[in-house]
Amino acid sequence: MNNVKEIAEGIFWIGASDRRLERFENIFPIPEGVSYNSYFVDDEKTVVFDTADVTVADQYLENLKSVLAGRKLDYLVVLHMEPDHCSQIEKVKALFPEVTIVGGAKTFTFMKQFFPESEGYNKLEVKEGDKLSTGKHTFSFVAAPMVHWPEVLFAYDEYTNALLSADAFGTFGALDGGVFADEYDFEKDFLSSARRYYANIVGKYGMQVQAVLKKAQGLDIKMILPLHGPIWRKDIGYFTDMYQKWSTYEFESDSVIVIYGSLYGHTASAAEAVAASLRDKGAGDVKVYDVSKVDVSYLIAEVWRCRKIVLMCPTYNNGIYPPMENLISDMAALTVQNRVFALAQNGTWAPVSGKLMSERLSQLKNVTVLENILTIKSALHSSDAEQLTGFTDAIINA
Minimum CB separation of residue 68 from ligand FEO in Å reads: 24
Contacts of 125 (CB under 8 A, 6+ apart): 103, 104, 105, 108
Q: Which is nearer to ligand FEO, 110 or 249 (CB)?
A: 110
SS3 content of the chain, % helix, strand, coil (to 5): 35, 25, 40
What is the Cα 35 distance to its own chain's centre?
Answer: 13
C-alpha torsion sign, points 392, 393, 395, 396: positive
List beta partners, residue 154: 142
Q: Which is nearer to ligand FEO, 28 or 251 (CB)?
A: 28
Minimum CB separation of residue 260 from ligand FEO in Å reads: 32
For residue 71, the 8-state DSSP code is: P
Minimum CB separation of residue 92 from ligand FEO in Å reads: 17
Minimum CB separation of residue 84 from ligand FEO in Å reads: 4
Q: Which is nearer to ligand FEO, 43 or 84 (CB)?
A: 84
Q: Which residue is nearest to ligand FEO (CB)?
A: 82
Q: Which is nearer to ligand FEO, 85 or 339 (CB)?
A: 85
Q: Rounded to an integer, what distance in angstroms lies between the CA atom of residue 3 and that of residue 177?
A: 9
Q: Rounded to an integer, what distance in angstroms lies between the CA atom of residue 246 and that of residue 231?
A: 19
Minimum CB separation of residue 264 from ligand FEO in Å reads: 41
Q: Which is nearer to ligand FEO, 79 or 311 (CB)?
A: 79
Whether the Cβ atoms of residue 223 and residue 162 lie closer than 8 Å to each other:
yes
Minimum CB separation of residue 228 from ligand FEO in Å reads: 6
Minimum CB separation of residue 81 from ligand FEO in Å reads: 9
CB-based burial label for 295 (10 Å; 0-12, 13-18, 19+)? middle
List beta partners, residue 212: none
List beta partners, residue 340: 308, 368
Name the site residues for ligand FEO (rule: CB under 6 A): 80, 82, 84-85, 148-149, 167, 227-228
Q: Which is nearer to ligand FEO, 114 or 149 (CB)?
A: 149
Q: Which is nearer to ligand FEO, 18 or 82 (CB)?
A: 82
